[in-house]
Structure 1
C-alpha cells in the first residue's frame, strides 16, 4: 500500500502564516497607514473655517458697525488669507472701499480705518496702466471721461481732483492673454467722493496721472 506524504518543502508552503510572522505584521502596518492617510486627506478637504460675511449690501465709502457682519463657514484652501477670518473681531468703525454684496465673504483688503481728515477709500479700475514706481502713498490727479449719450465712445476727460492719495494698488491679470487691470484705493474727501462714485456708476473711463510736486 502506498501512502502519499507531503515533502518538508510542500508542508512549509501549505502552512498558514502565523500572526507573529514579520511579513504579516509589515503588511498590516502598511494597510493601517494607508487607511489613516486617506482619512486624514478627507478630513482636511472637508475642514471649514469661519469668515466674516456681509449681513447687507455694503457700499463703497460707507462706515460700518458690527451689525454689518455675520459669520459664515467656508473652505477656501490656498486663498483663505484673502478674506477676513473671525479669528479677529469684526472691523466695526471702519469704512468699505468696494462693493460687498449681502452674503459675500469680506475681502481682507476692502476695509480701512476712518481717516483723520474724514477721507474715505474708494476703489477704482483704471483705463490706462500706471507709470512704474507709482504706488501706495503717492498722489495723483484723477480724470474721468464720461460715455457719450449715443454710446459711441467717450467725451473729453475732465479732471475730478488733484493730489489724491493712493491707499492701495493691485494688479488683476486679464483673461486669455488680455491686458492686466490696475485697481486703486483712492482716499477721497467729501468733495471728491460723490463725483468719483458718479463716475464709477456711469461707466466713465477713469485715468490717474502723477501729481506734479506731490509725493
Structure 2
C-alpha cells in the first residue's frame, strides 16, 4: 500500500518551474502564438496603388487626374505596379493599353520617343463585329484604285494590329455611318499605310480572334 501511495503522490506532484519540460512547453506555446499573430498581421497588410479611372490608350499621356488610389494586397509584387510612394514620372505615356480600374504596371509606362507603335486613324464604312473593341486585334486590308475606276485585289497590310480606340463617324453628307478606328502602327509599317490613304485606297478592318501579328 505504501508503494502505491508513494506512486500516486509522485503523479500528483506539482511541476516545478525548474522542470525543463515545463519551460520547453511554455516556449513552444509562446512561439506558436507569435507565429499566428505574425501571419494574421501579414495577411491584413495592404498598400496603396494607382489604378486607371478610365481606359488609357497606347500613346496617351498619364497624369494624376487619370488615376485613383486603391488599397490592395500586393506583397512581393508591389514593385511591379505604380504606387503613390513610387510616384508618377512627368511626361510618362502608356506603351500598352491599361483597362478601366486596372492597376498600372510600371512596365506599361514609357516615353514618346521610345514608343514603337503610334495610333493612326483608319475610317471604315462597313460594320465591325462586337468583338472589335479597344485592346483587341484586327487585320487591316488595303485595295488600291485601279485604272478602270475600280479597286485592285485587297492585300493584307497590317496583320494583328491592336485597336487603340473606336470613334463613331459619318461619311460625306451624313448619308451613312462610319467608324474611325485608331490602330497602332509600327514605324516600319507607317509608310505603306499612309501611302495607301494618300492614294484613296479602300481600307477594310477584319477582326483577328487569334491576335496574330505575323
TM-score (norm 2): 0.54
Q: Deviations over 1:86-131 (max 9, x none)?
A: 321123421112221222100121110232xxx74449xxxxxxxx
Verify the 8 A CA contact 1:147 1:203 in the aligned structure 2: no
Structure 1: how far apart are the matches of 2:11 and 2:27? 24
What is the alpha-carbon distance in structure 2 between the residues aligned to residue 55 and residue 92 of structure 1?
A: 18
| Correspondent of 2:140 among 146, 151, 168 | 146
Deviation at 1:36, TM superposition (A): 0.7
Aligned to 1:97: 95
Q: 1:206: which partner in 2?
A: 213
Quick one: which of 61, 64, 70 aligns to 1:63? 61
- Aligned mates of 1:92, 1:8 — CA distance in 2: 84
Measure the CA separation in 2 of the matches of 1:121 and 1:70: 27
State the match for 1:44 in structure 2: 42
1:24 lines up with 2:22 in the alignment: yes
Indicate conservation of the 8 Å contact 1:145/1:157, yes or no: yes
Inter-CA distance 51–67: structure 2 relative to 1 (3 Å threshold): same
- Scaled by the length of structure 1, what TM-score is found? 0.54
Rounded to whole Å, the distance in 2 between the matches of 1:18 and 1:112 is 68
SS at match of 1:157: strand
2:101 is paired with a residue of what secondary structure? coil
Match of 1:170 in 2: none
5+ residue gaps, structure 1, are 124-143, 149-154, 161-184, 208-215
